[in-house]
Structure 1
Amino acid sequence: MQVDHWTVVVWRGSLQFLGLLLLISLVYRQRTFEVFRSIGTLGLLLATVFCFSTILFIISVSYTLVANTLVILASAPFFAAVFSLIFLKEAVGRHTWIAIFVAFAGIALLTLDSSGSGSLMGDLAALGVATLMGAYFTIVRASREVNMIPAMAVSGIMAASVALPFAAFPDMSETQMLAGGAMGFIVAPLSFALITIGPRYLPAPEVSLLLLIETVLGPLWVWMVISEEPGFYSLIGGAVVVTTLFLHSMYSLQRYRRRNAVAKG
């Protein structure tokens, strides 16, 4: 039986909250409440942003190809660059602006396979996820001194609460329950914790390069498991976006290392 996306959000959000709460409790023990309280206003904003990005992500993969979702999501660092310019007053280099325009051309090409079909809604939802993830990276960068993993737990229960009134809760097979449990209780909490910690210790170009692994391997795994094949324009548009992000990240990483070398004398 096909499980509606609202039910998936409830399961994923609830288990994400429980998984991260367990992890935080094991690490901080008596200080758990204090760690949650320390996230402050920025933490609540981060939780809200990630709450709606989670909902849009589930909607996206429900209505379009997983490959389309992941390729569009890969443009999140470009949104982060724009938000950093607006809110953190960080300059955006010419090479980043060029990469942004080329990447959006690739996304426009990718959506040609979705034009006139319900999957266009999925592509637009993915673009919303990329925008929100850009905001997410910007908030993490602005609050790098604060442990924001508790905010990810809060975002899980927020997403579940938003989706609950719309969830149908159909009967689920044992396989679906195991898959949902593994995704919500293990995979999602660990991946969100790591993606929150990573930008605090790695330069942005390296984070972008590592995130490309998901963009490349995700569609391959989906093709191997459920034989979901992207269309011609999805392949071409995806190649444009991934190549652009790869070249941009490599160039940015080289500039970062050169600046560090000069600073160290």
Structure 2
Amino acid sequence: MERHIPVALAPHRLGLLLVAAAAVLWSTAGYFTRAVPLDIAALLFWRGLFGAITSFVFVLVRERRNTLRAFAAMGRIGLLFCLLSSCGMACFVASLKLTSVAHVSSIYAAVPFAAAGLAWLVMRERVSPAVLAASLLALVGVAVTVAGGMGEGSLLGDVLALAMTLFVAAFMVLRRRFPDVPLVPAACVSALLPALASLPFVSTWPAHGQDIAKLIAFGVSNMGLALVFFTIGAKFIPAAQTALVGALETPLAPLWVWLAFGETPRGPTMLGGAMVLFAVIGPIAWDQWRDAPNRLQKCT
């Protein structure tokens, strides 16, 4: 069946495209947490609620009469995914409220190193020298950001960002290890769990229609579509490469906040973000250049 897939939409490239799209959508989280004046619990509730609705509609359109069966087929691996994803997303939103967007995104950039290590431990999945070098460069970029920009963040926020990074790395390896498990329904459940858990602690509610519109956009794009794209795309590419492409969020997240609110990152943060961006683009460009002769042969 794979020979019928256009070259531009071959599984590996489709995976890269979907994970990159998820990273772009996730990079807007800092903007939304600044744009809507609500507490952490309220943001988790609305983001999770609209994210779950979006994911459910996707599953409903895709499965139709088999929707309930698709949820039942998640199994223990699907439930484990729900747990990892829910904890990671909760840490993500909380860290954005407690520390700077630049710090959160830069610490998250360490996920390639964590995913590569976990993938090797769990599956003995080898990492190419280019990806390994890029992961190390991304890790150095994180160190530069955190060490040089302490005044931007808080210790608790940084710790939550690190916990989120480890949860996401574990999910990437889990997805790669069990590619046939229907995890898109699990994405719906993992979006709903933080919403239900945070509901009793909500102390502020949106006061204006504009805030509600932003919350809908937050949940649909940053939770619903991003998680679906990421879940599908991570099936087709190695865990370390998934993490590298996902690190595109690092330079983008501070950019949106700077454009909207003038939250300017310090010099070390910008340098660390640039290092991470180079670490992401470098291996992809190298692979494209190396595989160019093979693509020409396929075309002829």
Structure 1 equivalent of residue 103 of structure 2: 68
1:230 alignment counterpart: 265
Which of 175, 181, 191 is the aligned partner of 2:216? 181
Is this contact kept in 2: 1:80–1:137, CA < 8 A?
yes
The TM-score with structure 1 as length reference comes to 0.85
CA contact (8 A) 1:11 1:160 kept: yes
Question: Which residue of 3, 8, 13 corresponds with 2:48?
Answer: 13
Deviation digits for residues 233-260 of structure 1 (CA, Å, limit 9, x no counterpart): 21122222222333344446667x49x8
Question: Which of these residues, 225, 244, 251, is aligned with residue 190 of structure 1?
Answer: 225
Q: Distance in 1 between matches of 2:284 and 2:169?
A: 15
Structure 2 gaps of 5+ residues are 1-35
Deviation at 1:117? 6.7
Whether contact under 8 Å (1:5, 1:59) holds in the other structure is yes
Counterpart amino acid of residue 185 in structure 1: V
Instruction: Name the CA shift for 1:120/1:91 in 2 (closer, same or farther; >3 Å).
Output: same
Task: Give the alignment partner of residue 216 of structure 1, picking from 244, 251, 261.
Answer: 251
Q: What does the per-residue CA deviation read over 1:164-204, in whole Å, with 9 as the maximum and x for residues that have no partner?
A: 33322345332221101121134421121111111223566
Tell me, yes or no, if the aligned pair for 1:68 and 1:238 is still in contact at 8 Å. no
| Matched residue type, 1:15 | F
* Residues 101 and 254, structure 2, Cα contact 8 Å, conserved in 1: yes
Q: Distance in 1 between matches of 2:55 and 2:132?
A: 36
Alignment partners' CA distance in 2, 1:114 and 1:224: 20
Structure 1 contact 205–252 (Cα < 8 Å) conserved: no
The amino acid that maps onto 1:72 is I
Answer whether contact 2:109 2:250 (CA < 8 A) is retained: yes
Paired residue for 1:36? 71
Residue 95 of structure 1 and its aligned partner are, at CA, apart by: 4.8
Q: Is the 8 A contact 1:75 1:241 kept in 2?
A: no
Letter in 2 for 1:123: D
Contact 1:107 1:237 in 2 (8 A): yes
- In structure 2, the residue matched to 1:54 is 89
- Residue 50 and residue 139 in structure 1: after superposition, are their counterparts in 2 closer, same or farther (change >3 A)? same
Superposed CA RMSD in Å reads 2.8
Task: Name the residue aligned to 2:39.
Answer: 4
More deviation, 78-87/65-74? 65-74
Matches within 5 A, 1:1-265: 2-115=37-150, 119-202=154-237, 207=242, 210-251=245-286, 257=291
The amino acid that maps onto 2:103 is N
CA contact (8 A) 1:75 1:245 kept: no
* Alpha-carbon distance, 1:101 to partner: 3.8
Distance 1:117 1:243, change over 3 A: closer
SS in structure 2 of the partner of residue 87 of structure 1: helix
How many Å separate the matches in 2 of 1:175 and 1:113? 37
- How far residue 18 of structure 1 moved from its aligned partner, in angstroms, is 1.9
Unaligned runs of 5+ in 1: none
Partners of 1:250 and 1:205 in 2: CA distance: 16
**What amino acid is aligned across from residue 159 of structure 2 in structure 1?**
L
Deviations 1:203-238 (A, max 9, x none): 667645653543333322221111111112211222
TM-aligned CA distance change 1:17 to 1:121, over 3 Å: same
- In structure 2, do the counterparts of structure 1 residues 93 and 187 end up closer, same or farther at CA, with 3 Å as the change threshold? closer
Structure 1 residues 79-133: Cα deviation after superposition (integer angstroms, max 9, x where no partner)? 2111111111213445544444433232122113553675333233222222111
SS at match of 1:200: coil
Q: Distance in 2 between matches of 1:212 and 1:136?
A: 15
Cα distance in 1 for residues equivalent to 2:76 and 2:260: 41
Give aligned pairs, total: 261
Report if aligned partners of 1:208, 1:249 keep a CA contact under 8 Å in 2: no
Q: Which amino acid aligns with 2:46?
A: W
Deviating more after overlay: 115-124 vs 220-229: 115-124
